[in-house]
Amino acid sequence: MGNRAWTILPIIKDIRKLAASFGSCEWFWVPRSQNMAALEAAKLGRGLVEAQC
């Protein structure tokens, strides 16, 4: 994972801050093999962000 952990840290902090604004928030682990639609959406979104930079 290396330096990737440092690049995701600000995102995790933002998620935690946003989660605190809800009355309740639950987190669940979903194996990648069972969540392919979200994986493909993330790939698409990442490509769009990279294209704008």
Domain that holds residue 32: 4-52
pLDDT of residue 24: 93
At residue 3, does pLDDT exceed 60? yes
DSSP helix/strand/coil, 13: helix
* Residue pLDDT, tens place only, 12-35: 999 999 999 999 999 899 887 889
Predicted confidence at residue 5, as pLDDT, reads: 64
Q: Which residues contact 24 (CB under 8 A, 6 or more apart)?
A: none
- Quickly list DSSP for 40-52: HHHHHHHHHHHHH
What is residue 33's DSSP assignment?
G
Residue 8: what pLDDT? 85
pLDDT tens digits, one per residue of 41-52? 888 887 766 666
CA angle (13 as vertex; 9, 18 as ends), nearest 5:
150
